[in-house]
Structure 1
């Protein structure tokens, strides 16, 4: 593979993939697996050669860093009492898989069965998505000598590109919090990924031997050796090229790209262009290219290629509400990392054994449960950490504490992504509209009460926990919902802005096979196509979507 070949004139490829992130890296691997396919992969960011990408704790230095992050911000949000949030999106090979939490969670079977229902496509039901999850998995419990139970092979794969491992550390205070959750009625589990994720245990992570395992390593490194795959990184996509002949349906024929040292290039696609720029980037590119709500396009004097009112609508995200508890007699990262000696010990442990706090995912203990008896399924998720701080990027507190962040898995609030101008370099307006429905505000209040109930159990009460945030004095639904707006923050799971749907669904952007409605030769393959957000972290579901799409694309040609 060459980074720089075919950069003059109008180079032609069979497939052009926009975005070398989670979905794009897998697609590039699968589509270029046939040597007859000429594949171009375009990435706005640079190579993933920044050392902090690969050290697990390095997410702290990658998020809001222009080297690895688009550095988006949300609009001031009424549901957050007027606050604006940072909105990280990966800008490097591997995309968000290079800066995310490395947490392997699929969601619930009901999520995918719902997708099948709203699209009319049985391929999206859980039973038919499971093989796509397994196809690229390399699960540690299926390693030789692993501790898999008899049913593990039914749910997990081995020998694929996507490595899944156990975390290389344990914390007594977290294990006691898990026991307290059991005392509060939450069952133990050994596997969150069998379709019903209710339970408590440590997260499994996308790491290999204590290093982050991003999709660039997993899917692109070997594919880079193929002469039929071309990579243009550090390349800004300006828009899609479309043409309409004899009044027929417009067709996407290529991508306009600006490359340093080469100027603007029109790369042509003989078969398909695939947008994998994510739930923020893909609707932005579509709107810039005249594919989107006609009124928005007219506002920016962009000729309408296809009036698709759903482009940029239906934004969903998981809003986490962080409860911080001061504890006594517990070892936490606050006390370990607040001295030079402590930091030196942490660094040495990682150098010698690739373990300890530097191997930590952002969250260690996982908990899925119900915010109230009104729910028949787990509707909230916890990310529990042996540390605390005022806000992301700020120093750790100087007292021992843990953080129990809880999010509503199935929010009913919906937001938007809209371009601000015709300039592809200007960030779009991102308005999540968090906590904009009574249901979401009620779940927020109830979930804080669940946290308190767990903290009161005997296994955790031995630490004499003191609720530092939000504060035990706040008790009513109204008080707790307002507090959620004060302290809630994104957990970085935007989806839904180019959602799929059946032919009669006017707000669907793509059909059940992810082809853009009204424009041939164009698909969207990323988290934006989810009609509803999955009940958990969204990175691995996005890989599953890409796996399924790759099969359809290859079968169609």
Structure 2
């Protein structure tokens, strides 16, 4: 059975129009026939987290023309995209691709949702806005795997600054109240190292919740009892060592979501940048070769025998016919086609274009252009377990979820001055942890290094109805446990050649296939019980019980294993299906070019060789900023 994602708020919110001040640009098209040119210097496929960075940065050179092709809709008037607190409302809505996995064997053959942004901004428009850069070890590992030191932590510092700017928020620099006098106050100011001067706006949480102090005080108390505690307190997890508990940084600014669409694309379009055109509500169906090889093409695979793709075929309906025209349409790229469709869309488009495992392609009747066995392989995501607890509180957002009348004044407040609860994301505090040392003896560490975590713990002050509906009565909190360094990997394969990008592929995360991940999640459950047994949580009997049970514990090991199988989903962070590396079998090289092809580059999460031990949107922005410079270097651009 597919895990249901029930809306946190009533459906009328999904159709409410946002007056955002973003007028639709004259360079934003919904019909391919209206696009002013048929040939561009660069074609970017996907206006998501990375694609909008690439399109904006390349079009800074007025001598180069850029076309962006996006399947989804304009984000401008979609309210749940812009209100931070509505983050969970986007799953299963009109701005979601609505992918699902194949039945997952270790999850009692459940299928689970694979939310991906079907809108300008891509998944940066529908995610939970958490901003984590990963550890120094992660980036140094990528440098090692690719054999390219330009991907190291030290080399990438300027690209973090290029991507984001930190804005102080109403509570970001406050000292959290400490009810335990044994815990000394700690300043929560942000080191300047993790600030920047780029277009994505980043803040601390914009509104306090009752869980903030409990999480921070619990980690401080545990660390005070044991200086070597795995529950460390941290002020900023974006300075190279990402382990610790503290406030989120989130991609919100001035009370609204800051996405790649609002930060990069719309400002570029609204500045009347004539060399940038965006075509939406149109699917790139496949890449095509041409006998005309552009003289200015600069790639690492510049051999006459190598297939050269320089056209993108698009369609707006499953049979390839326009609503009022009659044929598919083709756009040409003089320099490059840059795939930014994410870990699901990019491999699917490559496979449909004849680039992938030859046996799989032949079985579907697709002509093999390049035998690249790793396309669609190495797929993985962060397994996530939701545990809801009955709590002794009436401050949770459960009553708000149940009652539209309570939501209306908060929405009016947000629309009026961007204040109140709605500028906040559903989760304000989190923690990253390493596994105990004894669990790592005799096994290869799945994390990038000693500064990289294995586990994550997030907290929401209410019942998150991602796996089951909100009960009619009661107040709850949700603890989300994620394995951020899992060992299980899966794959993406085409379901059919018919229908092209209109037919969803088979997505298999292969969750819990590796026993290491099962033990890691068991440890995460035990860690949660330890964390919630501290004074900040037990005072005033705040935690009553696990929802639906008579105890604050899930139970025995066997009961915990059963609970995991019934309640695990993912954090919606798929990566790896066009992995980069220095080996011949890797799909992309360190310059992000598809090996064995000319004219095609990949810039999105599909190139990550291993799963970032963090929320990956900041990692993707950094990748895209670096990739833009690589492309400019290759083509001697301004």
**TM-score, length-normalised on structure 2?**
0.82
Q: Which moved further from structure 2: 547-556 or 358-367? A: 358-367
- Specify the SS of the correspondent of 2:47: coil
What is residue 446 of structure 1 aligned with on the other side?
523
Q: Is residue 2:160 matched to residue 1:126? A: no
Kept after mapping to 1: 8 A contact 2:169/2:203: no
Please point out which of 206, 218, 221 is paired with 1:168. 206
Aligned-partner Cα distance in 2 for 1:168–1:34: 37
C-alpha separation between the residues in 2 aligned to 1:343 and 1:151?
A: 33
User: Larger deviation: 325-334 or 530-539?
Assistant: 325-334
Match of 2:619 in 1: 541
* Greater shift in the superposed pair: 528-537 or 7-16: 7-16
**Match of 1:116?**
143
How is 1:27-426 mapped onto 2 (pairs within 5 angstroms)? 27-49=54-76, 50-65=78-93, 67-141=94-168, 152-158=191-197, 160-185=198-223, 186-224=231-269, 225-243=272-290, 248-259=305-316, 260=322, 261=324, 263-329=327-393, 331-339=395-403, 342-374=406-438, 376-377=450-451, 378-391=453-466, 394-395=469-470, 398-422=473-497, 423-424=499-500, 425-426=502-503
The yes-or-no answer on 1:456 pairing with 2:529 is: no
> Where does residue 587 of structure 2 map in the other structure?
509
Q: 1:496 to 1:341 in 2, by over 3 A?
A: same
Give the 3-state SS of the residue equivalent to 1:501 in structure 2: coil
Q: Distance in 2 between matches of 1:337 and 1:299?
A: 48
TM-superposed CA distance for 1:390, in Å, is 4.5
Aligned-pair Cα RMSD in Å:
2.6
Deviation at 1:247, TM superposition (A): 6.5
Determine the structure 2 residue equivalent to 1:12: 39
CA shift digits 1:336-355 (9 cap, x unpaired): 54445533453354345423
| Residue 3 (structure 1) aligned to one of 28, 50, 75 | 28
Task: Give, in whole Å, the separation in 2 of the partners of 1:151 and 1:207.
Answer: 16
| Gap change, CA 1:396 and 1:212, over 3 Å in 2 | farther
Q: 1:8 to 1:91 in 2, by over 3 A?
A: closer
SS of the equivalent of 1:394 reads coil
Q: What SS is found at the alignment partner of 2:511?
A: coil
Which ranges in structure 2 are unaligned for 5 or more consecutive residues?
1-25, 175-186, 224-230, 294-302, 317-321, 441-449
Match of 1:483? 563
Return closer, same or farther for 1:257/1:338 CA change in 2, 3 Å cut-off: closer
> Retained in 2: the 8 A contact 1:10–1:266?
no
Give structure 1 stretches of 5+ with no counterpart.
none
TM-score by length of 1: 0.93
Offset at residue 402 of structure 1 (A): 0.9
Give the match's secondary structure for 1:170.
coil
SS of 1:187's partner is coil
Tell me the matched-pair count.
552
Distance 1:243 1:307, change over 3 A: farther
1:467 counterpart = 2:542: no
1:243 to partner: Cα distance: 4.2
What SS does the corresponding residue of 2:350 show, helix, strand or coil?
A: helix
Q: Give the deviation of 1:370 after TM superposition.
A: 2.6
Cα–Cα, structure 1 residues 486 and 463, in superposed 2: closer, same or farther, change >3 Å? farther
In structure 2, do the counterparts of structure 1 residues 56 and 545 end up closer, same or farther at CA, with 3 Å as the change threshold? Answer: same
Measured after TM superposition, the shift of residue 156 of structure 1 is 2.1
Residues 549 and 400 of structure 1, relative CA distance in 2, 3 Å threshold: same
8 A contact 2:546–2:554 mirrored in 1? no
- Residue 414 of structure 1 deviates from its aligned partner by 0.2
* Structure 2 Cα separation of the partners of residues 299 and 251 of structure 1: 24
- Contact 1:9–1:265 at 8 Å: present in 2 too? no
1:553 equivalent to 2:636? Answer: no
Q: Deviations over 1:89-124 (max 9, x none)?
A: 001111111111011111111111111111111111
